[in-house]
Amino acid sequence: DVKVTQSSRYLVKRTGEKVFLECVQDMDHENMFWYRQDPGLGLRLIYFSYDVKMKEKGDIPEGYSVSREKKERFSLILESASTNQTSMYLCASTPDRDLPWAFFGQGTRLTVV
Amino acid sequence: AQSVTQLDSHVSVSEGTPVLLRCNYSSSYSPSLFWYVQHPNKGLQLLLKYTSAATLVKGINGFEAEFKKSETSFHLTKPSAHMSDAAEYFCVVRILTGGGNKLTFGTGTQLKVEL
């Protein structure tokens, strides 16, 4: 089974802190994604990556950055956390361009106080 | 731009009656479409996928969806609802980018199943 693992299930951070969310997949997938999920808004794409060191902005990249130094790991960085970034963050991966269905991690519930 | 619209934010059915969750897509080329399900406090699970093969797609747990190009729709159906089907359902379209795939989600439909 494909496994997508997010480093934390719950995080509480203070406003202004730099926050790192880590995601690891174990199936050599090319594509990795970060979404945030908010009630009534569905999942909104923050950033995605289709190869090591390659990234593209999603629909809501402001206030976030990403890093993909190794194929299996995709990190989401909140440069200076704000209360409006309180949300559920979901990481996903897809095998490649021709196999586009995604496998999701369990999510990280981030609260910024 | 490619997108999906889920026409109902909440659907309520009685156990044993049919389920219909509606999704319309917008795409300038033949799309790949998916339905995902999220049970309370659980991760997202792929329910079924359409990738330009048969237009009627069967998924897990008795769900199916029909791709209708003329109506730009990809509605999810099940003949008989079960209590365990209560969850949130997301319609998703795949967008090809220069480097890879981008998956765009609808806003979700909350399915409630009553006795």
- Distance from C-alpha of B1 to C-alpha of B16, rounded to nearest angstrom: 38
Highest mean pLDDT among B19-23, B44-48, B105-109: B19-23
Return the percentage of chain B with pLDDT > 90, whole number: 70
Measure Cα distances from B93 to A101, B27, B80, B87 in Å: 10, 9, 26, 20
pLDDT at position A102 over 90? no
The DSSP string of B42-106 is S-EEEEEEESSS-SEEE-GGG-EEEEETTTTEEEEEESS--GGG-EEEEEEEEEE-SSSEEEEE-
Of B22-26, B37-41, B98-102, which has the strongest mean pLDDT? B22-26
pLDDT at B1 > cutoff 90: no
- What pLDDT shows up at residue A95? 83
> Do the chains contact at A45 and B94, CB–CB below 8 Å?
no
pLDDT single digits (tens) B61-79: 999 999 999 999 999 999 9
Question: What single letter denotes the amino acid at residue A17?
Answer: E
Which of B102, B57, B74 has its CA nearest to residue A47? B102
**Residue A105 confidence (pLDDT):** 93
Which residues in chain A are closer than 8 Å to B34, comparing Cβ atoms?
101
CA distance between the termini of chain A = 37
Between residues A1 and A20, the one the model is more confident about:
A20
What phi and psi values does residue A66 have, to the nearest 5 degrees?
A: -140, 165
* pLDDT higher than 90, residue A100: no
Check pLDDT > 90 for residue B41.
no
In this prediction, residue B54 has a pLDDT band, given cuts at 50, 70 and 90, of confident
A76: alpha, beta or left? (left if phi > 0; alpha if psi -120 to 50):
beta
Which CATH fold would you assign to the domain A4-112? Immunoglobulin-like (2.60.40)
- Quote the pLDDT of residue A2: 67
* Residue B38 amino acid letter: Q
Task: For residue A96, list chain B residues with Cβ-Cβ distance below 8 A.
Answer: 100
CATH homologous superfamily for B3-114? Answer: Immunoglobulins (2.60.40.10)
Alpha carbon A91 to chain centroid, angstroms: 4
SS3 B13: strand
How confident is the model at residue B111, as a pLDDT? Answer: 98
Give A 22-51 residues with CB within 8 A of chain B. 30-31, 33, 35, 40-45, 48, 50-51
Please say whether the beta carbons of B46 and A2 come within 8 A: no
| DSSP letters spanning A78-96 | ESS--GGG-EEEEEEEESB
Say which amino acid occupies B71: E
Tell me, what's the pLDDT at A97? 67
Query: Which residues of A fall within a CB distance of 8 Å from B87?
Result: none
Domains of chain A by residue range? 4-112
